[in-house]
Copies of this chain bind each other. A is one copy, B any other.
Amino acid sequence: MNSRIPAVTALIEALGCDRVLSGDELRDRPCRDWSEEPSAQPLALLLPRSPQEVAAALRLCHAHRAPVVVQGGLTGLAGGANPAPGEIALSLARLNAIENFDAVGGTVIAQAGVTLQQLQEHVGTEGWSFPLDLGARGSCQLGGNAATNAGGNRVLRHGMMRQNVLGLEVAMADGTLVDMLDRVIKNNAGFDLKQLFIGSEGTLGVITRLSLKLEPARRASSTALCGVRSFQAATRLLRLAKEMLPGLTAYELMWDGFFRASAQAQGRRPPLDGHFPLYVLLESQGHAAPVCDSAMQEFLANALEDGCVEDAVIASSIEQAAGLWGFREGIAELLAHLKPCVAFDVSVALVKMNDLVEELRSDLEARFPHIAHLFFGHLGDGNLHLISGPYAAPEDREAVEKLVYARVGRYRGSISAEHGVGRLKKAYLPMSRNAGELALMARLRNCLDPQGILNRGRVLEA
């Protein structure tokens, strides 16, 4: 550890002591993410105030071969931002300016430490919307959203973070600052370099500024809950929804077990009479409520006639819509009953999802018969969630992880649809990625950060 101290001394000299906290100054600073991964106290916490200061800090760390862990809003679930022993933490929190908002074309340039909610509120004043939306919006930062390619509630319509980024400014591992802040939607003038930094979890460079694409704010939405007979009916319903609802923003599938557990945890009565094997929550957005509602009614009439829906209810107020969403989003209450549990965020081709769920359920019920195994997900995106718990023994949790990821791998699915790899899922990455892919990732990592100082040991082996 002593070998790092020259780096900290040099950083304090170069940036000043108000940008570099160390020792006792760190005691009360939150420095770990929302996962339960191990975390150490960093050697120092850097709080640069500009992209140039980020670059200067990296230049020094590079010169001293000092490993750096990059920190945004610390809302990650994969342990990627948790310091390992001997690391210097680099926080983007003070890069929190919205620099340029073009309310004509609908674009904005913001620094990496701006929170998602801060951006949403800022552009909302002019009737624009940044379509990415997550539960962590109040804390998560745009730089982290891009570094992890965040997903969230409206991916079906607006894509993940990647689809909403026009350009980036990135500080490379050696302290070079590269300006790729395009403001145009179409640009085939050379390689699309920003793509490399989106979703690579800070291992290839540190995002300092972002150019983002906005959408006109939607003034109205229509939400419905449907009871469905089979997975096959749910996929037919999805296709019909894509055909008939051009403003479709969400298509959430809940298996019966999840739906009932969620209702029970919240002490609420389901709004549909009768029980169904599956429930679908749909949302469609538009500019005016009557148009939205009549499109939803026409769609549901078609779906009932087609037979892919058994029963359905449309929310007739914002409160009712929030109530329907509550069944899907009441995860906090559910988790309170199921802890300690294992939560999964995987994806698989739609055509294979039902087989995967049935095999997983049968495996898990055979091995852990008295445990709840609850399935739900963003069906429209092929994204499947599973919460399984409570497990008292950590080795049981590990056994469940191995079992689930192995099956997902066999179906050529992804072990991480949204939440990234960080440190938590690194060991399972070879179940989703073949040797050729892993070798290519390592080659790129070595090309852009030959000393491996950035987020070492995250995503890939050090």
Contacts from A to B (Cβ < 8 Å) = 102, 104-107, 148-149, 151, 155, 159-160, 162-163, 176-180, 182-193, 195-196, 198-200, 204, 215-216, 218-219, 235, 239, 242-244, 246-247, 285-287, 291, 295, 298, 347-351, 378, 381-383, 412-421, 425, 429, 432-434, 436-438, 440-441, 443-444, 447-448, 459-460
Candidates B287, B417, B447, B448; contact of A187 at CB < 8 Å? B417
Q: How far is the CA of A47 from the CA of B460 in the complex (A)?
A: 37
Residues of B within 8 Å of A418, CB to CB, are: 186, 188
Residues of B within 8 Å of A347, CB to CB, are: 184-187
Residues of B within 8 Å of A162, CB to CB, are: 192
Q: How far is the CA of A244 from the CA of B351 in the complex (A)?
A: 34
Q: Known contacts A162-B192, A195-B192, A444-B447; is A437 also within 8 Å of B187 by CB?
A: no
Q: How far is the CA of A412 from the CA of B291 in the complex (A)?
A: 40
- Number of copies of this protein chain within its complex: 2
B432 and A190 contact, CB distance less than 8 A? yes
Q: Known contacts A242-B215, A287-B243, A447-B443; is A188 also within 8 Å of B437 by CB?
A: no
Residues of B within 8 Å of A155, CB to CB, are: 185-186
Q: How far is the CA of A215 from the CA of B105 in the complex (A)?
A: 27
For the residues of A in contact with B, the DSSP-based class is: loop
Q: How far is the CA of A191 from the CA of B162 in the complex (A)?
A: 12
For A184, give the chain B residue with the smallest CB separation. Answer: B347
Min C-beta distance of A348 to chain B, whole Å: 6
Min C-beta distance of A278 to chain B, whole Å: 16
Residues of B within 8 Å of A247, CB to CB, are: 246
Q: How far is the CA of A192 from the CA of B444 in the complex (A)?
A: 12
Q: Known contacts A239-B216, A437-B180, A440-B178; is A189 also within 8 Å of B105 by CB?
A: no
